[in-house]
Amino acid sequence: MIETGLQNRVVIVTGAAAGIGRATAAGFAREGCRVASWDVHETEPQTGGMFQRVDVASAAAVDAAVKEVMARWGAIDVLINNAGILRDAQLVRFKDGAITATMSEEQFDGVIGINLRGVFLVTRAVAECMIPAGQGVILNASSVVGLYGNFGQTNYVASKAGVIGMTRVWARELGKYQIRVNAVAPGFIATDMVKSIPEKVLATMRDHTPLGRMGQPEDVANAYVWLASDAASFITGAVLSVDGGVVTGT
């Protein structure tokens, strides 16, 4: 068994009300961490933890929530930037000789605001607490589509590719303070949102995954726990794909 060294560490997980975020908060709680679960939707706090209603796109809300965590526990050791949304649409849809739809500015800005600006705002606030402590781990949710693109997801792909870029910048900037920064790029994960997709589409996803199944939220949560642990103490600036080989299977 690998010794994680995570006992009693303070962890913030954004987007923790459901899916990967909820599984991640539970995974760190099982390691004996003190977990602050952030979301705009109510959720039960994990064992030994707390829930905070936080809109990650609001700098004021983020700063207030960070201060609350520091006031309660006096440190922030690990940040999981998991919060994200989808607003899918084609850039321009053309049918029967006419343009029938486009991706709206609202669809683009909404996704960028949560998935990219939110990661920036939360990381900035938490880094201000980690730097004086001389240690910390920041893990950002990207996606395999941020590496390879995907039809109908201009906004989402831009946000997830941007997360990878920021991860690499922050690994360089924050390394001298012993703060590690990495990204995780999930593939097709069986969250409640994905399960609502028609079975025909789900079957195609499974067919394009060499391991022959969709991932579970716990598969991604386990990757976060490992990257935050002492076992990954020399890893920074990396992007870990948790995708069952989906890229090589497409």
**Cα separation of the two ends of the chain:** 34
Mean pLDDT of the residues in the chain: 94
Residue 154 has what pLDDT? 96
| pLDDT tens digits, 31-43 | 999 999 999 998 7
Residue 203 has what pLDDT? 87
- Strands 92-95, 136-141: pairing is unpaired
Sorted by sequence, the CB contacts under 8 Å of residue 26 that are 6+ apart come out as: 46, 221
- Which three-class secondary structure string do you get for 178-210? CEEEEEEEECCECCHHHHCCCHHHHHHHHHCCC
| pLDDT tens digits, 186-245 | 999 998 877 767 788 788 888 888 999 999 999 999 999 999 999 999 999 999 999 999
Structural domain spans, the chain: 10-242
C-beta separation of 52 from 78 below 8 A? no
Distance CA 73, CA 188 (A): 35
Residue 33 has what pLDDT? 97
Residue 204 has what pLDDT? 84
Classified by CATH at the fold level, domain 10-242 comes out as Rossmann fold (3.40.50)
Query: What is the mean predicted confidence (pLDDT) over 161-171?
Result: 98
- 156 catalytic residue (yes or no): yes
| pLDDT tens digits, 75-113 | 999 999 999 999 999 999 999 999 999 999 999 999 999
pLDDT more than 90, % of the chain: 84
pLDDT above 90 for 10: yes
Residue 130 has what pLDDT? 98
**Distant-in-sequence contacts of 203-209, Cβ < 8 A, 24+ apart:** 205/246, 207/249, 208/246, 208/249, 208/250, 209/243, 209/244, 209/245, 209/246, 209/249
pLDDT above 70 for 161: yes
What are the tokens at 166? 């920021």
Helices (H) and strands (E) in the chain, counts: 9, 9
C-beta separation of 223 from 168 below 8 A? no
Among residues 54, 42, 36, the alpha carbon closest in space to that of 18 is found at 42
**Annotated catalytic residue: which of 148, 156, 177, 224?**
156
Residue 198 has what pLDDT? 77
